Amino acid sequence: MNASQLLLGALHRHASNDAPAVLEKVRSVFSSGRKFAGYKTHEVIDSEYASPSIEPEDSGEDFSCNPFAVPSKFFALDLLTDSGTSKLTEEQREIAERYRELVPSIEMFSYARCAPREHLEQFLSECFGEQFSYYPALQGRAAEKMLLQATVEAGLQKPGDCIISNRPFDTTKGHICALGLHVIALTPLASPERYYESDSVFLGNIADSEFLQMSADPKYRLLLLTLTDNGGGGQPVSMDNFKFLVSKARERGLLVWCDACRIFENALFIKTFEQGYEHTTITDIVKEILSLVDFSTMSFKKMYSHAGGSILVNRASPVLSEAVLQRLDRSIKRQTTTDYGNGYRSYSGLTGEAMVEMMTGLAMACDEEITGRRIAQVGTVGSYLKQKYNLPVIAGGHALYIAADQVLPNVPLTDCPAETLNALMMASIKLRGCGLGLLVYGGRVEHEDGSIELKNELTMDSLRLAIPRNQYGDSEIISRLSIVGEAHALGLLTSLQGGLCPKDYVDDGFYHFGGEYDYCKPGEFKSTVEQLRRISVRLWKSEKQSPHRNGGA
Q: What is the pLDDT of residue 53?
A: 52
Contact in structure between 347 and 114 (CB atoms under 8 Å): yes
Write the CB contacts of 325 (distance below 8 Å, at least 6 apart in sequence). Answer: 133, 313, 315
- The CATH number that applies at residue 372 is 3.90.1150.10
Start-to-end Cα distance in the chain: 55
Same domain, 396 and 453: yes
Q: Which domain holds residue 449?
A: 65-82+368-550
Distance, in Å, from the CA atom of 99 to the CA atom of 119, rounded to the nearest integer, reads 11
Can you name the residues that pair with 310 across neighbouring β-strands? 136, 298
Residue 449: what pLDDT? 85
21 found inside a domain: no
Tell me what pLDDT residue 552 has. Answer: 43
What is the DSSP-derived secondary structure letter of residue 107? H
In a domain, 269, yes or no: yes
Strand partners, 519: 500
Of the residues 287, 309, 332, the one at which a domain ends = 332
Task: For residue 267, give the CATH number of its domain.
Answer: 3.40.640.10
* Same-domain status, 226 and 275: yes
Output the CA–CA distances (angstroms, integers) from residue 66 to 56, 285, 462, 513, in the order listed.
Answer: 21, 38, 15, 8
Return the DSSP state at 229: B
The last residue of one of the domains, among 285, 306, 332, is: 332
Q: Which of 338, 347, 310 is nearest to 133 (CA)?
A: 310
For residue 521, tell me if it sits in a domain. Answer: yes
Evaluate whether residue 124 is within a structural domain. no
The region that residue 450 occupies, defined by phi over 0 for left and psi between -120 and 50 for alpha, beta otherwise, is left
72 shares a domain with 214:
no
Integer CA distances (angstroms), 106 to 66, 109, 115, 123, 215, in order: 43, 5, 9, 21, 52
User: What is residue 42's predicted lDDT score, i.e. its pLDDT?
Assistant: 81
Q: Of 311, 332, 353, which residue is a domain's last?
A: 332
What is the distance, to the nearest Å, from the Cα of residue 206 to the centroid of all Cα atoms in its chain?
18
**Residues 378, 237 within the same domain:** no
Cβ neighbours of residue 420 closer than 8 Å, sequence gap 6 or more: 65, 404, 408, 411, 496, 499, 500, 525
H or E stretch covering 534: helix 522-544
Quick check: helix, strand or coil at residue 406? helix
Return the pLDDT at 109.
82
Residue type, 326: Q
Closest CA relative to residue 269, chosen from 171, 371, 173, 172: 371
* Residue-level pLDDT at 13: 97
**Do 383 and 308 lie in a common domain?**
no
H-state helical runs in 1-114: 3-15, 20-31, 90-102, 105-109
- Amino acid identity at 494: T
pTM of the predicted protein model:
0.92
Same domain, 266 and 328: yes
The answer to whether residues 244 and 144 belong to one domain is yes
| AA identity, residue 201 | V
Report yes or no on 461 lying in a domain.
yes
The pLDDT value given to residue 14: 97
Position 335: which residue type? Q
Pairing of strands 516-519, 500-503: antiparallel
Neighbours of 117 (CB within 10 A): 20
Residue 343, domain member (yes or no): no
CA 61/CA 242 separation, integer angstroms: 46
The number of distinct structural domains making up the chain is: 2
Do 418 and 527 have their domain in common? yes
Same domain, yes or no, for 372 and 516? yes
Residues 69 and 171 reside in one and the same domain: no
Do residues 322 and 395 both lie within one domain? no
3-state secondary structure of 547: helix
Q: Is residue 12 in a domain?
A: no
Residue 120 lies in a domain: no
CA-based nearest residue to 469, from 290, 264, 271: 264
pLDDT for res 61: 46
Question: Exposed (0-12), middle (13-18) or buried (19+): which is 392, by Cβ within 10 Å?
Answer: buried
**Which residues, in sequence order, are CB contacts of 212 under 8 Å at separation 6+?**
248
Return per-residue pLDDT of the chain as tens, 553 residues: 899 999 999 999 999 999 999 999 999 999 999 999 998 888 877 666 555 554 434 444 456 789 998 998 889 999 999 888 889 999 999 999 999 999 998 888 887 788 999 999 999 999 999 999 999 988 888 899 999 999 999 999 999 999 999 999 878 988 999 999 999 999 988 899 999 999 999 999 999 999 999 999 999 999 999 999 988 899 999 999 999 999 999 999 999 999 999 999 999 999 999 999 999 999 999 999 999 999 999 999 998 999 899 999 999 999 999 999 999 999 999 998 877 656 555 556 788 899 999 999 999 999 999 999 999 999 999 999 999 999 999 999 999 999 999 999 999 999 999 999 999 999 999 999 999 888 888 888 888 888 888 888 888 899 999 999 989 999 899 989 999 999 999 999 999 999 999 888 887 777 878 888 899 999 999 999 999 999 988 887 776 565 554 444 3
Do 246 and 195 share a domain, yes or no?
yes
CA atoms within 13 Å, Cβ hemisphere of 274: 19
